[in-house]
Structure 1
Amino acid sequence: MELKALRNFITVVDEEGVTAAADVLHVSQPTLSRQIKELENELGTTLFTRGTRSRTLELTSEGRLLYRRAKEITELADRTATEIAVREEVTGDIHISAAQSVVMRTVAKAMVRLHDKHPRVRVHLHDGYGVNITERLNNGLADFGVLVQPTDMSHYDFLPLPGGDPMGLLMRRNHELATHDRITAGDIKGVPVIVPHGVLVRRNLSGWYRYNGEDLNIIGTMNLLYNASRFVEEGYGCAICPAGLVDASGKSDLTFRPLEPPVYTKLAIAWKKSQPLTPASTAFLDELRAVLQGA
C-alpha cells in the first residue's frame, strides 16, 4: 500500500464521498475512484457501500479497520520524516499518551524547563488508559506513556512518578454519603457506582472492598472521568475515581470524599526499550530526571 493511496482513502472517508474528496485533492473523480478500486483489489475486500443517501458512501467493517490503521500509518510516516529532518538541532514533537492524573504536573514541570531551553520543541498530549496507552507506545505513536501501576513494564524503560492520586467517591452534593468525611467499604455497600475500567482490570480495589463477600454494585465503567462526572450530576449513581480531576468545590453540584482506609494510584512514565529516542525526547528525559531529583 502506498502512502498516497492511504492519504486519498482517508480524504474520501473524511469528505464522505469521492466527488467532494476529488475537489479537495484536486484530482479528477474517475482517477480517485480508480485509486480506491485498486486499493480494494490489493486488499481483496470491499471498503465502501452505498449509503442511505445516494451520494454518500459508508465504510464496511474492513473499511473502518483500514481507516484507523491508515491514520496511524500516515501519522507515523509524517513524524518519522520530521524527526529525520531535524536531528541537527533540539526541535520537533514529543507525543505523550497519559492517564488522567494530577501527577502530570511533574511531567508538565519538565516540559516547561525543556521549552525554556528549546522553544521549538512541541508537546502533543493524548489522554488514554492502560491498553490504549501501551498500544500507542508499541506502535510508535507515543514517545512516552504515563501508566497507572501495577502494569507489566517488561517491554519498557520507565521512571516512577512521585506522589499519587487519592481514590474516593464522587457524588452529588445532596447524596446521603456527602455527610461523611471518608467512605468505607461498609458505607458503599449497595451504592450504584461507575468505576474506571482500568481499576477493574488491575483490581486496585480488590483489597479495599470485600464486604461480607459481596462485590461493588457497578452500574457502569469509564476510561476518562469528565463524561462520567456529567452522569453523576444527573443522578446516575456515584463514581469511584482519583481526586482533583473534576471540580468538586463549593461552587459545584458535586463533592468528593476519600476512601478509608486510603487507596492511592501510583504512576510511572515509560518508553519502549527498542525505540531510539529523538533528540527532543532525550532532552525531555534529562529535564524530567532533574525535576525528579529536585522533588
Structure 2
Amino acid sequence: MPAADALSWAILLGMLGSCVSLGLAMGFSIAAERAMAPAAGLTLLLSGVVMGRRAGRKHVSAAAVALLQMTLFTILGVTLAYLFAARAEPLWDAGLAAADARLGLHWPGLLAAADRLPAPLLMLSGLAYHSLAVQMVICILVLAATGRIERLRLMVAAAVLAGVATILISGLMPAFGNLFAPSAYRQLWPSVAWLERDLIAGLRNGSLRQLDLSQLMGIVSFPSYHATLPVILAWSLRPIRGAFWPGASWAGLTVMATPLFGGHYAVDVIAGLLLALIAIAAVRPLAASDAGVPGSAGGIRAVQAKGTQAIHGLV
C-alpha cells in the first residue's frame, strides 16, 4: 500500500475508534433509519474500488478510493466534532474576537460594508464558500483522469491529516463562531455559524444525543477547514497548468468568503491557512518514501509509526 494511503487509512481508523468509544461513553446513539443513505453511498464507492481494480483501471479505482476516504472522513470528522462539542468545554469566542480586534478588525463596520457590495459579487462569493464539497470531488476526478495518482493520494492524506488536526484543536478551543443576525442586513446571507447555533447549544446542554448521519453539519470555528481544504486542493492541482489557475482562483475566493458566509473570525482563517501549509509539508516526504520501492514497504513502515501516533492522539 502506498505510504500516503496508509497514513489516510490509519487516521480514519483512529477516528472511527474514537467516535465509537466516546459516543458510547457519552450516551450518543445513531438514528438507524437516517443512516441508510450514507451507508448506501459508502457501499457504492466501495463497489467502485473493487470494480476498478478487477478491470485493471487504476484511475477509476484511485478516484473511488479517494472519494471513499474523504466521505468517511466527513462522516467521522463531523461526528467527532459533535462529541467534542458535547463535552461543553469553556467557549473561546471572547478570546478569538479579541484577537481579531488586535488585528484592527471591527466586524460591525466590515459587515455593513459587505452588505453594500454588488449583489452578483456576494452571490458568487456565497457559491464559492458553499461549493467546497464540489471542489473536492472535481479535484479528485481531475487528478485521477490525468493520471496524477500519487498526487491524488498526497492530497487526500494532507486533507485528512489537516482535518483531524482541525477537529482536535477545535475540541480544545470550542466556539460558536462570529455570530451576526442576518435580519440586521439587507443582502447578507445567514452564516453557517448562525444557522448552527441551536445545534451546538443542544450538544453542549445535553438535549441532543442522537446523530442523524444524513444531515451532519460542520460546527468547527477555530481553525477554519474552509480555509484549509481549498489551499490543499489548489496545491494538488499545481502540476496541471490548465486546472491550477482556475482552481487556485476559486480557492482564493472561497477563503475570502469564509468569514462572511461561514461566520468565522479572521484568526480562524489564518490558523486554517497555516494548518494547510503544515499538512502539505508533512505529506510531501511520503512521495519520496515510495519512489522506487516495490510495494512501498519503506513508506508503509514509516506511516505505520505515524498512524499509531495519530490513533493514540485521538483516543
Scaled to the shorter chain, the TM-score interval is under 0.3
Larger of the two Rg values belongs to structure: 1
TM-score by length of 1: 0.24
Q: Quick check: which one's helix share is greater? A: 2
Relative contact order higher in (CA < 8 Å, ≥ 6 apart): 2
TM-score by length of 2: 0.23
